[in-house]
Structure 1
Amino acid sequence: MSFKATTAACVAAALALGMGTTVAASDYPSSTINWVIPFGAGGGSDRLSRVFAAEAERHFGGASLNVENHPGAGAVTGWMHVLNQPADGYTVFNATPTPIITLLSEEDAPVDPGEIDILGYLAAFASVLVVREDEFPDWDSFISALNERAVTIGGTNALLLGAANAIDQAGAEAIYVPYGSTGESVTDFLGGHIDVAAVTESTALTIVPENGIALMNTSSIPLPDSVNEALGNPPMITDLGYSGLAFPRWVGMHPDTPEEIKARFAEMFEAAATDPEIEAVFEAAGEPIIFLDREAAAADYEAMVNTMRNAIGLLQ
């Protein structure tokens, strides 16, 4: 085949591919959207993702949202899964800062935290420390115990960072045990294998008061009044004059996804996240929606990654 013929064939193929992308974008979504979370079943991300998927389908052109759990490697397995899927808008990543912390902690990370296109924030969560009341009836007794013996705190990396930030400011140290999902850490807490569980507020509601007490909200955001009351009105770390951390539940796509598809998804996602009926469901679940649109979320995400780079040493 001549050079001219080969070039013409390549140009034709490229044009066909471009036309195919345009058609796909105009029809999007026409099939199931896989909603990937990098955690196992039973944790806050799993429960809230399934709530959102069930309630939000009417805003996604009739396409169903299929929640997939891809836990492992400090929540990085799910990220790698997303990047290994076609960049066609049918694989969405709903994560927290946990995989970011994992990646920033590794010298030779398999992916950079920037290798994702942020399309919005669904919510933000607190890191609530849940303890057994007979061991740590209040914050002062907890800090005293930390200075006297080894105390183990379990949770996902993001939740552990919230705990570590609070404990570091109190001048104490603990042993931090990372888990692939909050559900696993709760199981070990209930089984007496760890002393403290660092959990989201929605997960804390499943433990308190039958199997423990909420010792501290280490977050910079207050809990909803109804949740705070149900948890026994635990103090906030800011009540002690310390700074707290809040953690977003961000939503993103493969960075090579066509812009038309990303824009369309962001539009549908915003419609669902700002739907009063869906907001009410999340409020009842103990974690209200705190929505940020695509532009605001992308800017906040970049700032969060930079903050995490500076704070990561607390877990090491």
Structure 2
Amino acid sequence: MTLHTRRSALRMLAAGGAAASVGLPAFSQQGEAFPSRVIRIVVPYPAGGTTDQLARAIAQPMREVLGQTVIVENKPGAGGTIGTDYVAKQPADGYTLVFGNSGPSATAGLMRKLPYDPQKDFRPISGVVRVPMILAVPADSPHKSVAEFVAWARSRGDKVNYGSTGVGGSSHLFSEYFNELAGTRFQHIPYAGAPPLVTAFAGGQVQMAFVTGLDGAAMVQAGKIRYLAVASPKRTPVLPDLPAIAEAVPGFQAVVWFGVLAPAGVPDPVAQKLSSTIAAAVRRPEVSKFLTDRNVEPWGSTQEELGRTIEGEIAQWGPIVKKFNITV
């Protein structure tokens, strides 16, 4: 059987369903069985944050299915764009992947010029989770509702700070969008990733931040910060006790995805092998529990679903970035 014929057969088998395709052989552009060596998942943020935790949650199940070492490598900087750009320039063979999210993989290009094209330079592999952002305040904040908090912030003008995980990241975009819709004037203090943001937040250096359940869980349990509301369009089963921000600030929503992308040009059988392996990892009971315990929604999407999500985000946020002149 020729390599071309074998690839065609694999495509036909893969169409039968992601679950079945986990066990199929895959071949790289050079014709070698995939995987035959170490796979690297690049996290474009510091160790310990949401993206890093999620990448490590799927790495071990991937190792077990693929029979090869899967390592997580942190390459932080510039709101996730340094590590993302690094992966964009790697060989399209499936051995170097990026654990991306809405920021460097979709919306950052709306606010500034990037050294890569989020759509043309990457192939979506699988969305791992969908995460509603959470509006959090220090635990000793007297404000118990978004409406009360917004009224107080308006009265303080530009004397109130918000923190983000870096210039140009999702938390930066969402906070500026909140400023516009809520009529507040929070000043931006960027940090180099989620861990330093949460530490500074708990220390009282900022009065508001948009965090994920993974970033904020330990600080909430320790009594350092408190959740006010969730940024999903309406109340969500993931955080059933929290109101939606949109109840007080009409139209506001901020839900991000986290998932895996590969350099554009990765062969179809390799992409399908990776996609089905990641989706199966997300469905494992211990991984699913890890995710839901941290207020994130397990996803495990197909390549096509993640691609449509990225296109939808760019369509949603493009007009908003332009209207409110959100640049970095």
Letter in 1 for 2:208: V
Q: Residues 175, 272 of structure 1: CA spacing in aligned structure 2 closer, same or farther, 3 A cutoff? A: same
Q: Write the distance in 2 (CA, Å) between the matches of 1:77 and 1:143.
A: 35
Gaps of 5+ in 2: 1-26
In structure 2, the partner of 1:304 is 313
Q: Please tell me the residue identity of whatever aligns with 1:51.
A: A
Q: State the secondary structure of the residue aligned to 1:311.
A: helix
Change (3 A) 1:135 1:276: closer
Please point out which of 29, 35, 39 is paired with 1:29: 35
Show the counterpart of 2:14.
Answer: none
Q: Does 1:245 align with 2:251?
A: no
Aligned to 2:5: none
User: Aligned in 2, Cα 1:186/1:58: closer, same or farther, shift over 3 Å?
Assistant: same
Determine the C-alpha separation between the residues in 1 that align with 2:220 and 2:36: 43
SS at match of 2:148: helix
In structure 2, the residue matched to 1:235 is: 243
The letter for the 1-side match of 2:55 is S
Cα displacement string for residues 132-155 of structure 1 (whole angstroms, at most 9, x for unaligned residues):
244342223321232122221112
Distance 1:224 1:20, change over 3 A: closer
Q: Aligned equivalents of 1:237 and 1:20: distance in 2?
A: 46
Alignment gaps of 5+ in structure 1: 1-18
1:194 equivalent in structure 2 = 206
Q: Does the 8 A contact of 1:85 with 1:91 survive in 2? A: yes
Is 2:233 the counterpart of 1:220? yes
In terms of mean alpha carbon deviation, does 211-220 or 277-286 score higher?
277-286
1:29 CA drift (Å)? 0.9
> 1-side partners of 2:195 and 2:237: how far apart?
22
Partner of 1:255: 264
TM-score scaled by structure 2?
0.80
Number of equivalenced pairs: 289
Following the alignment from structure 1 to structure 2, what is the Cα–Cα distance between the partners of residues 21 and 308? 36
2:175 aligned with 1:169, yes or no?
Answer: no
CA distance, structure 2, for counterparts of residue 306 and residue 125 of structure 1: 19
Mapped pair 1:47 → 2:53: yes
Q: CA RMSD in A?
A: 2.3
Q: Does 1:74 align with 2:87?
A: no
Matches of 2:151 and 2:28 in 1, distance apart? Answer: 64
Is 2:307 the counterpart of 1:294? no
Q: Does 1:146 align with 2:159?
A: no
Give me the whole-angstrom Cα distance separating, in 1, the residues matched to 2:170 and 2:54. 17
Q: Does structure 1 residue 181 correspond to structure 2 residue 186?
A: no
Larger radius of gyration: 1
The answer on 1:203 being equivalent to 2:205 is no
* Cα distance change on mapping 1:185 and 1:122 into 2, 3 Å: same
* Overall identity of the aligned pairs, in %: 24
Does structure 2 retain, via aligned residues, the 8 Å contact 1:126–1:221? no
Q: Distance in 1 between the 2:98 and 2:188 partners? A: 26
- Contact 2:40-2:72 at 8 Å conserved across structures: yes
